[in-house]
């Protein structure tokens, strides 16, 4: 089969990142905290999906879109993954800027759609309620900047190692998206209380400006830390598991799911 065109690859990254932000952040905005009342109105019950549900939602966005368009673009949906793919030899450096643009634009459009839908609920206030990432007083658990940077770097580096390993030509065929989606689920289970989980600069950018409440001013941390983690993961995988060689996987494997 002919290789996908550059336009098709960018469209895949655009739609994949849109889906990741819309599904993951949307679950946090709309469904994480839902309260129901008993018939007599005396008691209330939490019926929202909570941290577990949001974590699964992020993982499912990657699984579904990686299977849908992984064969087109590699299904990065994340500037840190794209950086790690370039560092490890899985992607040419000349494609990195256009991948980043497609990812950020796709994420921002999703953020806009989330905002417009949320505004349809009477009394909704966007400030502080758009699933933004943060540290200090803007961290769900009030974690410090240092703690957030360490967590984001470490988790993104491991995410890259899982992505590169799951899409290695030696890995079991067809299971890459599942491994990557489950890894992202686990990452969210660990770090939602720490930073609301980024490990993805496009996801952070997508909602920061709609959220306000300090998120735009803290956005630098959620570019810096994931990119450092992506760089580390992209360097470590070839060094440890490919005998130090930066080699591309077989074509059919490369397009399975570099989520």
Domains of the chain, first to last: 6-254 (1.20.1080.10)
CA 7/CA 238 separation, integer angstroms: 29
Selection from 244, 71, 258 nearest residue 161 by Cα: 258
At residue 129, the pLDDT reads 96
Q: Encode pLDDT of 72-104 as tens digits.
A: 999 999 999 999 999 999 999 999 999 999 999
At residue 45, the pLDDT reads 63
At residue 257, the pLDDT reads 42
Please list, in sequence order, all residues whose beta carbon lies within 8 angstroms of the beta carbon of residue 10, skipping any fewer than 6 positions away: 73, 98, 99, 101, 102
Taking residue 112's Cβ as centre, other Cβ atoms within 10 Å add up to 14
Binned at pLDDT 50, 70 and 90, residue 113 comes out as very high
Taking residue 92's Cβ as centre, other Cβ atoms within 10 Å add up to 10
Binned at pLDDT 50, 70 and 90, residue 12 comes out as very high
At residue 240, the pLDDT reads 94
Q: What is the pLDDT of the chain when averaged over all its residues?
A: 92
At residue 258, the pLDDT reads 40
**What's the rounded mean pLDDT across residues 193-219?**
98
Report how far Cα 148 is from the mean position of its chain's Cα atoms. Answer: 16
Size of the chain in residues: 259
Percent residues over pLDDT 70 in the chain: 90
**Lowest mean pLDDT segment, chosen from 36-40, 127-131, 235-239, 253-257:** 253-257
Residue 246 reports pLDDT greater than 80: no
Please list, in sequence order, all residues whose beta carbon lies within 8 angstroms of the beta carbon of residue 216, skipping any fewer than 6 positions away: 208, 209
Phi then psi for 242, rounded to 5 degrees? -130, 25
CA 202/CA 247 separation, integer angstroms: 27
CA 3/CA 259 separation, integer angstroms: 18
CA 237/CA 99 separation, integer angstroms: 21
At residue 245, the pLDDT reads 76
**Lowest mean pLDDT segment, chosen from 44-58, 68-82, 124-138, 241-255:** 241-255
At residue 249, the pLDDT reads 46
Residue 256 reports pLDDT greater than 90: no
The per-residue DSSP string of 2-56 comes to PPPPHHHHHHHHHHHHHHHHHHHHHIIIIISS-EEE-TTSS-EEE-S-HHHHHHH
The per-residue DSSP string of 107-133 comes to HHHHHHHHHHHHTTSTT---TT-S---
Binned at pLDDT 50, 70 and 90, residue 114 comes out as very high
At residue 234, the pLDDT reads 97
Q: Are 20 and 65 in contact (CB under 8 A)?
A: yes
């Amino acid at each position: 089969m002919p290789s996908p065109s550059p336009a098709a690859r960018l469209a895949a990254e655009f739609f994949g990142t849109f889906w990741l932000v819309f599904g993951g952040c949307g679950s946090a905005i709309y469904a994480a905290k839902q309260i129901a009342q008993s018939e007599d109105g005396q008691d209330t019950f939490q019926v929202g999906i909570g941290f577990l549900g949001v974590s699964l939602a992020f993982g499912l966005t990657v699984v579904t879109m990686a299977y849908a368009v992984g064969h087109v673009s590699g299904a990065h949906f994340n500037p840190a993954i794209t950086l790690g793919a370039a560092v490890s030899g899985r992607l040419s450096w000349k494609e990195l800027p256009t991948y980043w643009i497609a990812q950020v634009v796709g994420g921002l459009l999703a953020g806009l759609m989330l905002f417009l839908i949320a505004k349809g609920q009477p009394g909704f206030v966007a400030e502080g309620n758009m699933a933004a990432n943060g540290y200090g007083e803007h961290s769900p658990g009030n974690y410090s900047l240092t703690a957030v940077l360490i967590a984001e770097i470490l988790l993104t580096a491991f995410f890259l190692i899982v992505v590169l390993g799951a899409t290695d030509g030696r890995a079991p065929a067809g299971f890459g998206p599942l491994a990557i989606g489950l890894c992202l689920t686990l990452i969210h289970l660990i770090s939602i209380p720490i930073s609301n989980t980024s490990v993805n600069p496009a996801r952070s950018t997508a909602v920061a400006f709609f959220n306000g409440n300090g998120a735009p001013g803290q956005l630098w941390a959620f570019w810096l830390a994931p990119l450092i983690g992506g760089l580390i993961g992209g360097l470590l995988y070839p060094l440890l598991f490919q005998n130090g060689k930066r080699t591309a996987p077989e074509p059919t494997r490369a397009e399975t799911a570099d989520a």
